[in-house]
Amino acid sequence: MGETVWYWTVRQHIRPAYHDCRVTLSFFTGGTAKGAGCRLSLVFAPCALGGVSNTYFESGTVVRLPDRSHLNLYEPGTARRLLDAAAPALEAQPAARNVAVDGWPYFAEVVDRADQAAGGHEPA
């Protein structure tokens, strides 16, 4: 992304109580480029409108429940689109080395942008 090389990882935390489960997509930089040493974590927690994988579906998958839109955070294209969408969160806190944000707004931005480009969903 620009001059900065970003690496990414997905971590899944499964707990006995589903509402305590989390799937986290983290991006981090290395080297001496501008922004080196930064970490941006998009945290997906179960909520009324979204679910996270906890053995029911593929590991690393997050699902928006009303329309069943989903993203697999292990897919490189998905990770890149989420990084592009969330990059302003880092710019808003330039001195912070670790930024953790709710991932659901970025999920919506990525999925809704893809839907607009494709002309929307077909009725089920």
pLDDT digits (tens, 9 = 90+) for 40-60: 999 999 999 999 987 667 888
- pLDDT value of residue 54: 73
Contacts of 7 (CB under 8 A, 6+ apart): 27, 28, 29, 30
CA distance 97 to 112: 29
Phi and psi at residue 80, to the nearest 5°: -65, -45
What is the distance between the alpha carbons of residues 6 and 57, in angstroms, rounded to a whole number? 27
Give 59-72 pLDDT, tens digit per residue: 889 999 989 999 99
pLDDT of residue 111: 92
